[in-house]
Amino acid sequence: MKTKKETTARLELLEVYDGTAIARKVEAMAARGWLAERVGPFLWHYRRCPPQALHAAVQYFPKASDFDPGPGEAEREMMDFAARDGWQPLLRWGQAQVFVSTAADPTPLHTDPVAQVATLRKALLRSQLPTTLALLLLCGLMTAMYADLYRRDPLDFLSDGIELAAAGLMALLLFLLAATLVRLAVWLRRAPAAAQAGVFLPAYSARRFNSAVLVLAALLFAFGVAWSGQALPILLVWAALYLLVLRASLALKERLKAAGAPRGVNRFATVALAVVLAEAAAAGLVWLLLRMPLERAGHVTGSYTYPSGYTRELYADPLPLTMQDLIEVPPGEVRSRERERSATPLLAVTDCRDWGFTEPDSGQLAYTLYEPNGARLYGFCQKQLLAQYDTPAPGPGELADHWFAVDAAPWGAEAAYQRFWSDGPLPEYLVCWPGRLLVLRLPWEPTPAQRDVIVQKLCSGS
C-alpha cells in the first residue's frame, strides 16, 4: 500500500508584508489538508492535516527579527490577547506572526484600521525600506559595471551569453526593486487616509508581477546556460557554490535560533559564515579557472619552451584558414593552431590564430570572423570595428592609426579597408562580406593568389 507523504513544499510568490494574501493562502491550503509550518519568499513548507476551515490573520511586530530565538515581549502579550478570542499562533516570518482560529465566526484580530496601518508602516520603514534601498544600490553598481563592460568592448559583450544573461538579470532585479519602492511609496501615501475613513488598505500585492519577473529570470538563466559555450561547467559550478553558501547560512541561522542564541549573535554568526563561505567559493572558483582551462575545439599536441624558461601548450584546433594554405611551411616548424568561438543569437565571433615558434618561423596568422544577426547589427559591428583604429595624430587634420578604404572587388566584398600607421600601410585588413566581417592580420602583404585563397576559405564558412 502506498504511503501518502506527510510534508510538501510549494513555490509561493508572496511577500512578507502582504498580510491579506498570506492569510488567504493559509486558509486555502488548510481547506485542502495542508497546514503551513515554515514559509519564506519563495518556498512554503506544509504538513498534512485533516481538511479544515481555518480563519487566518497576520499581525506585524516592527521590532521583531527573523534572527530572534523566539517571540519577544510584545509578541507574547499579543498571543495572550489573541488566545482569549480563540486565535492561536501558527508560524513566524520575520516581522510577521500568523494566527489561526477554528471558530466559525471568530472575533476579528484587528479592529482598528488606524492602528493596523501604523504598525505595518513601522515594520515597512524599519526593514523593507532600508533593505530595498541597499539592494537597489548594489544592483545599480552591478548594472553600471556591465554597462562599462559593454562600453569597453561591445562586440565581445554581445557575443558572450553569460555576460548578456547576467546583465539582463541585474537590469531585471533593478527594475523589480524600483517597482517595489514605487508600490511602497503609493501605499504609504494612500493607506493612512483610507484608515481614517475606517478602511484598511492591504499592502501592495504583486503576485502576478513577481511571477512574471521569475519567469523572465528563469528564461535569462536558461539563455546563459544555453549560450555559455565552453564556460558552461564554470557556470554550473558557480550556481552550485552559491546554493551551498545560501543553504549553509540558513541552516546555521535556524540552528542558532533553536539553541536560543541572542539576535545579535545569530545575525553576526550567520553573516560571517556567509561572507567566509562566499570568499572561499570565489577563491575555489579562481583556483578551478587557473587549473582547468576552458576546453578548446581541438587538442593539445605538445608544448614549447621559450628561452626564458616559460612553457606554453601547443594546439591543433581546426581552422578554416592556416598558414599552410598560403605558403609552404617548412617541415618540423613548431606551430600552434588555436580557435576560440563565442556566440549568442545576436552575434557570433570566431577568433583564430596560427602561430609559429621556431626561430625563424613562417610568420603569425591571426584573424577574427564576426557574424552579426541582422542588417542593423551588421552596421553596428562594422562601425565598431572601424572605430578601433582612429587615433588622432599630433598634427592637425591627420590620423596616426586608422582604417583606409581600399578596392573591395579583389576581396569579393561590399567594402574593404587596410590599416595605416603614421607613415604607411600595415598588412591588416577589414573585409566586409554580406553577413560576415573579417579582421585579418598577416606578416606580409598578400599576393593576388593568396588573397583568392583567403576569400575562398573565409568568405562563406568557417
Residue 39 lies in a domain: yes
Instruction: Give the pLDDT mean for 424-430.
Output: 91
Q: Are 317 and 290 found together in one domain?
A: no
Q: Is residue 274 part of a domain?
A: yes
Residue 125: CA atoms inside 13 Å, Cβ hemisphere, count? 9
Residue 199 lies inside a defined structural domain of this protein: no
pLDDT tens for residues 48-102? 999 999 999 999 998 888 888 888 888 888 888 888 889 999 988 888 899 999 9
Does residue 185 fall inside a structural domain?
Answer: no
User: What pTM did the predictor assign?
Assistant: 0.76
All three cell numbers of 93, joined, read 516570518
Per-residue pLDDT, 297: 46
Long-range contacts of 410-414 (CB under 8 A, 24+ apart): 410/448, 410/451, 411/451, 411/454, 411/455, 412/455, 412/459, 413/459
Does the residue 232 lie in any domain? yes
Q: Which of 273, 272, 201, 288 is nearest to 236 (CA)?
A: 288
Cα–Cα distance between 240 and 234 in angstroms, integer? 10
Are 361 and 284 part of one and the same domain? Answer: no
Q: What percent of the chain has pLDDT over 90?
A: 38
Residues 90 and 31 in one domain: yes
**94 and 26 belong to one structural domain:** yes
Cα–Cα distance, 223 to 232 (Å, whole number): 11
pLDDT 10s digits, 123-143? 889 888 888 898 889 888 888
C-alpha cell of residue 162: 553569460
Q: How sure is the predictor about 239, in pLDDT bands with cuts at 50, 70 and 90? A: confident
What's the Cα-to-Cα distance from 191 to each of 179, 182, 195, 239, rounded to whole Å?
18, 14, 6, 40
Nearest to 300 by CA among 332, 336, 333: 336
Instruction: Give the model confidence (pLDDT) of 21-52 as tens digits.
Output: 899 999 999 999 999 998 877 789 999 999 99
So what's the pLDDT on residue 461? Answer: 52
Average pLDDT on 443-456 reads 94
Question: In angstroms, rounded to a whole number, what is the distance separating the alpha carbons of residues 98 and 26?
Answer: 9
Q: Which domain holds residue 72?
A: 7-101
Distance CA 250, CA 273 (A): 10
Residues 454 and 310 in one domain: yes
User: Would you say 52 and 32 are in contact if contact means Cβ atoms under 8 Å apart?
Assistant: no
Q: Are 93 and 61 in contact (CB under 8 A)?
A: no
In a domain, 150, yes or no: no
Give the domain-ending residue among 277, 295, 313. 295
Answer yes or no: is pLDDT of 15 > 50: yes
| DSSP three-state, residue 353 | strand
| Domain co-membership, 316 together with 435 | yes
Q: Which three cell numbers stand for residue 358?
A: 621556431
Summarised one tens digit per residue, pLDDT across range 375-424 is 999 999 999 999 888 766 555 555 577 888 999 999 999 999 999 887 78
Residues 257, 323 within the same domain: no
DSSP 319: -
Q: Is the pLDDT of residue 231 over 70?
A: no
Let me know whether 315 and 436 are in one domain. yes
Cα distance between residue 225 and residue 219, in whole Å? 10
Do residue 235 and residue 370 come from a single domain? no
Contact residues for 419 (Cβ-Cβ < 8 A; gap 6+): 389, 401, 402, 403, 404, 425, 426, 428, 429, 430
% pLDDT > 70, the chain: 91
**Domain closes at, from 101, 135, 156:** 101
Q: Which of 48, 83, 101 is the last residue of a domain?
A: 101
Residue 357 and residue 278 share a domain: no
333-346 pLDDT per residue, tens: 888 899 988 888 99
Task: Judge whether 192 lies within some domain.
Answer: no
E-state strands within 199-279: none
- What is the pLDDT at residue 192? 92
Angle among Cα 287, 290, 295 to the nearest 5 degrees reads: 120
The reply to whether 305 and 370 lie within a common domain is yes
Q: Which residue has the higher pLDDT, 235 or 363?
A: 363
pLDDT higher than 70, residue 363:
yes
> How many domains, the chain?
3
295 pLDDT tier (thresholds 50, 70, 90): very low
Confidence at residue 81, expressed as pLDDT on a 0 to 100 scale: 86
Q: Is the pLDDT of residue 229 over 80?
A: no
pLDDT of residue 138: 87
In a domain, 120, yes or no: no
Peptide bond into 192 cis (omega under 30): no
- Average pLDDT, integer, range 348-374: 88
State phi, psi for 166 to the nearest 5 degrees: -65, -45
How many distinct helices (H) and strands (E) make up the chain? 12, 16
Assess whether 341 and 282 both reside in one domain: no
Please give the C-alpha separations between residue 445 and each of 246, 323, 365, in angstroms, as whole numbers: 58, 14, 12
CA 238, CA 232: separation in Å to the nearest integer?
10
